[in-house]
Structure 1
Amino acid sequence: MISYFTKGEPLTISMWDFSWLKGNHPGGAYEDLARRVEEAKIRGYNTLRVDCFPNLILQDTVNFKKNWDPKTELPQWGQTEIDFSCNVLERLSTLAELCRKNGIWLGLDAWDKASMIGHYNIIEPQDEERTFVSYSETWVKALRLMREEGILERAVWVAPMNEVPHYCCGKVRSIMDLEQRIRTEGEVILEINADLDQAYQRVNHWMGEAIKNEIGRDGISLCYSSLGAEPYANRLTDIYDVADVHYMPSVVMDDSDVEAFEQTGKGASRFSNFLQLITYDLKRYSEVWDTACQKNYGKMLEGVRTYHENALKHLTLASGKQLCPIITESFGPCYFPDHPDVNWDWYKRYNADAAKLIAKLPFAGTSLSNFAEPQYRLWKDEEWHRTTNLFLQNSY
C-alpha cells in the first residue's frame, strides 16, 4: 500500500454511510456514538466514510421516520427503529469531535441524490448543467457551515455523490440513452464508450468544480465515487484527486452452485437485495455460499487481484495527473444476509485475504467490508478487524 497524500500511512476505512446518523437514536445501533468511535479505533480504523447529509445540514431540524423492524427484517444500512428529530450539523460536529479525540479521519460523501437535487424526475439534457451546478452549490453552503464547526479539520476527502453512475444511469437522459445495460453496485465489467465517458465527465465537473474551489483552502481532496469497473480518468477532469474504487461481486459459481442456490429460493443465484434475501432458506443459503466460496477460492482471489490491477491502469488523467486510488466498498458480495442462521467464517476469510492482496498494490486506503460497521454481527469480531487492519498498516 501507499500513504494517503501527507497522512504518512494508508487509510483503514470503515464505511458508516448514512447509518451513523439514522441509527443515532435511543435503542439504535449508533445510540452511543462515543463508544462506537472508540470501537472503531480499537479495531484499527483510522478513517470513517460517512454521509454528511449536505442539504439537511442547512435545516434547523430534520425528522427521521422508523423504517426498520428487527423482528421481520435483516440488518441493513440506514436502519431507524423509532421516529426522531435532530439538528444534523450538531450531530456531525459531535462525530467530528469524537474522531478528533480518537485520531480518526472522515471521508465526506452524499448518498441521497434525489433529496439533494430536490426531485426524482429524469433530468433532461437542457437541465443537466443547471441541476448539477445547483447540486454543488448546496454542497458549498454546507461546507462553509462545516468549516465553522471545525468539521473540515477531520476531512480527508469530499466526494460529491456516492456511486455516480448508480444515479446517473437511471436519472440523466443523455447517459440513459448511452448506457447499454442496467448496472449494479460493485460492477466488475468495464464498458468502453467514449461518448458515455464524455457525458460523465461533464456531470462530474459540474458537480465538483465549486466544491473543489471551496475545499482547496482546507487542503482536502476531491474524490470520485465509482460504481465499480470504470475508466475513471476518462470521466474526470483535473479538479479530481482521488478515485474511490468499489468491488462487490457475487461468489464465484459453477452450474452445480447455481442449482444449489436456486433450491434455497427462486433467484438466489442472482444479485439479491435484503428484501429478497430474507425470503430464502438462509441456513441452506449460507451453506451453499460457503461451499461455493471454498470450492472456487482461487478464482475468487484471482478476481480481486485482476480487477484491482486493472483499476490502477485507469488513473492517469489527460493532463498526466495521477488519481490517488482508495477502496471503500469491498470485497463482495454487495448484499450479505446478517441472520443467526448465516455463518460469517468464509466471508471473513475471503475478505481478509482479499485485503491482504490489496496490501501488495499501490492503493492509499481500503475498507475490509461494506458490513464493517456497528449494526452488523461482523463488528463484534474485534480481532478480525484489528489484525487485518494492522496487516494493512504494516504493509506501507
Structure 2
Amino acid sequence: MSLMPYDMRNGLTPRRLTIAMWDYSWLKGHYPGGSFENYGQAVDELVERNFNTVRIDCYPLTIGLLNSEEEEVTILGEPLANWGVCDVDRKHSIVRELVEFMQACKDRGVYVILSTWNDRCKEHPDLHQHYASDRAAFRVAWGRTLDILGSRGLLEHVLYVDLDQEFPYFSPYADEMNKLAVNGNTSQASGGNLADNMEAAVNQQGGTNKLIWTSEQLVYVDELHKEMLQHFQRKYPYLRFTYSLTSFWKEVRTAGNRSYDVLELHMFMQSALQSERLESRIGFNDIVKDRGDHDYSDYQRRIDDAFRVMRPMFMQEMHNRLSFAMEWSAEIGAPVTTSEAWGPWWHMDHRHLSWSWLRDWCTECNELAGRYGLWGTTPWNYAHPYWENWRDVSWYKEVNGVFLRS
C-alpha cells in the first residue's frame, strides 16, 4: 500500500499566500501626497486585489540604533528610484509608522512577512560596518524590533521573518563574503547601494554543475546562518525564520543547512541557473535602470523578437527552477515561497516599454507556482500603488484567485 504524497501546506495557515512585495516603499511613500499616505487605504487595496500577504522591510538594523522608540531618522529622497519612490529627504518615526502599518494589516486580516534590505539613513551612513563587526548587535537589533511588535500584539499575523534580504547582496556580511573569495571566484556582493546590489543579485550566473562560492564561503555562510536561525528559533519558537535568496541556491543547498523554516527563493528570468540566452538577446544588463527618460525602444524590440522564437525554451528554464526548488523543499521539510519573481527584476512605466508580454508571462508562471506546490507566490514584483498596473484590479483578482484555488 502506497501513501499519498504529503502536502505540508494543508497544515499551514493560510494554505496559500498571495504576496505583494512592498519592500521599503511602505515607509518611503508614507507622507502627504505619497503613494502610501494612508495605510488603511493601501491595505484595503491589497485585499481588493486578492492579496492576503505583504512582505516589507521593517528596518530592524536602524531600529537597533535608535535611542528611543520615538526617535526620528532621515530617509533619503530618491526621485528616480525603481522602488521606494520619494522625491526629497524626509523625517520618519520608523517605530510609530511600522506599528501603524502592522496594525492596519492585522485589522484587515492581511498577513505580513518581515524582511530587510538594510538600507541606510542619513543619521547612520555606516550601518553595514556597525553590524558587520558585531554579530551580537545584529541579533539584538532584530530582537528589539520583534519585541516592540510583540508587546503590541503585532506578531500574531507575521508568517515568517527573512533575516537578510537576498543574502548576501544587501547584507552587512557581504564584504566578509568577498574577502573569502579566491581566484576571482567571488559572490560579487559588494555591500554597495541598493541599485548596485539589485543589479548584482540577478547577474550571477552558474552552470548546473558549478558551485560559485569557494569552500571558505560555504563554511562561512553555513555557520552564520545556523548561528542566526537557531538563536531566533530558540528565542521565538512560535515564529518562522529564513534567509531569502535570488542567486546561490545550489551553494546554500550544498552546505546542507536544514534550519530554514521557509525557502524564499526569488525566481527572476535572468538570475542564476538561467538565462544566458535571454541576456545575449535583449542586453538587459547594459540598460540604465531608473525612472529617467531613456531610450528603451531597441530593448523592447529585442524582447519582442526573443519571445517570438524562444519563449518555450525560457519557460522550460522556469520549470527547471521550480523543480529544483521543490526537490530542496522536500529534502529539508520547508515550504517554498517567492515574493519577487517571474519576469526580469526591472521593468518600468515608460513610453517605449510594453507590459503585455510580461503580464502574459507572469500569469502563466503564477499558474505554474500552484501546480508545482509553492506555499506562496507573487504576481510579479511590481505590485505597488505607484505603478500604473495597480489600476488593473481585475487582473490582480484573477491571477491571485487562480493561485488561491490551486
TM-score (norm 2): 0.81
Q: Which amino acid aligns with 2:377?
A: T
Matched with 2:218 is 197
Matched with 1:177 is 181
Matched with 2:21 is 15
Q: Does 1:68 align with 2:75?
A: no
Q: Does 1:88 align with 2:94?
A: yes
Cα distance change, pair 174–298 in 1 and its aligned pair in 2 (3 A): closer
SS at match of 1:360: helix
Cα distance change, pair 271–199 in 1 and its aligned pair in 2 (3 A): farther
For residues 203 and 254 of structure 1, what CA distance do their matches in structure 2 show? Answer: 35
Q: Does 1:156 align with 2:177?
A: no
198-207 or 365-374: bigger deviation: 198-207
* Deviation at residue 282 of structure 1 after TM alignment: 2.2
SS at match of 1:16: strand
Matched with 1:220 is 239
For residues 180 and 216 of structure 2, what CA distance do their matches in structure 1 show? Answer: 12
Matched with 2:317 is 303
Do 2:337 and 2:374's aligned partners in 1 also have CA atoms closer than 8 Å? yes
Matched with 2:353 is 342
For residues 253 and 119 of structure 1, what CA distance do their matches in structure 2 show? Answer: 35
For residues 44 and 132 of structure 1, what CA distance do their matches in structure 2 show? Answer: 39
Q: Does 1:356 align with 2:367?
A: yes
* Deviation at residue 273 of structure 1 after TM alignment: 5.2
SS at match of 1:13: strand
Do 1:28 and 1:81's aligned partners in 2 also have CA atoms closer than 8 Å? no
Matched with 1:291 is 305
Structure 1 residue runs without a partner (length 5+): 262-267
Deviations 1:111-131 (A, max 9, x none): 1167799544599xxxx7x63
For residues 373 and 293 of structure 1, what CA distance do their matches in structure 2 show? Answer: 26
SS at match of 2:112: strand
Do 1:325 and 1:363's aligned partners in 2 also have CA atoms closer than 8 Å? yes
Cα distance change, pair 105–8 in 1 and its aligned pair in 2 (3 A): closer
* Deviation at residue 290 of structure 1 after TM alignment: 2.9
Q: Does 1:378 align with 2:397?
A: no
Deviations 1:281-327 (A, max 9, x none): 1244333323322332112211111111112233466xxx4222111
153-162 or 172-181: bigger deviation: 172-181
Matched with 1:133 is 136
* Deviation at residue 336 of structure 1 after TM alignment: 1.3
Q: Percent identity?
A: 19
SS at match of 2:285: coil
Matched with 1:244 is 264
Cα distance change, pair 105–307 in 1 and its aligned pair in 2 (3 A): same
Matched with 1:264 is none
* Deviation at residue 230 of structure 1 after TM alignment: 1.0
Q: Which amino acid aligns with 1:291?
A: D
Q: Which amino acid aligns with 2:164?
A: M
For residues 212 and 270 of structure 1, what CA distance do their matches in structure 2 show? Answer: 38
Q: Which amino acid aligns with 1:274?
A: K
For residues 105 and 316 of structure 1, what CA distance do their matches in structure 2 show? Answer: 25
Structure 2 residue runs without a partner (length 5+): 1-6, 189-199
TM-score (norm 1): 0.83
For residues 239 and 117 of structure 1, what CA distance do their matches in structure 2 show? Answer: 32
SS at match of 1:139: helix
Q: Does 1:368 align with 2:379?
A: yes
Alignment RMSD (CA, Å): 3.0
Q: Which amino acid aligns with 2:74?
A: F
Q: Which amino acid aligns with 2:71?
A: T
Cα distance change, pair 350–155 in 1 and its aligned pair in 2 (3 A): same
359-368 or 283-292: bigger deviation: 283-292
SS at match of 2:56: strand
For residues 120 and 255 of structure 2, what CA distance do their matches in structure 1 show? Answer: 22
Q: Which amino acid aligns with 1:210?
A: H
Cα distance change, pair 254–279 in 1 and its aligned pair in 2 (3 A): farther
For residues 324 and 377 of structure 1, what CA distance do their matches in structure 2 show? Answer: 32
Do 2:75 and 2:92's aligned partners in 1 also have CA atoms closer than 8 Å? no
For residues 91 and 345 of structure 1, what CA distance do their matches in structure 2 show? Answer: 36
Deviations 1:3-40 (A, max 9, x none): 27520411111100011111111121111221111111
For residues 382 and 188 of structure 1, what CA distance do their matches in structure 2 show? Answer: 36
For residues 280 and 6 of structure 1, what CA distance do their matches in structure 2 show? Answer: 45
| Aligned residue pairs, count | 372
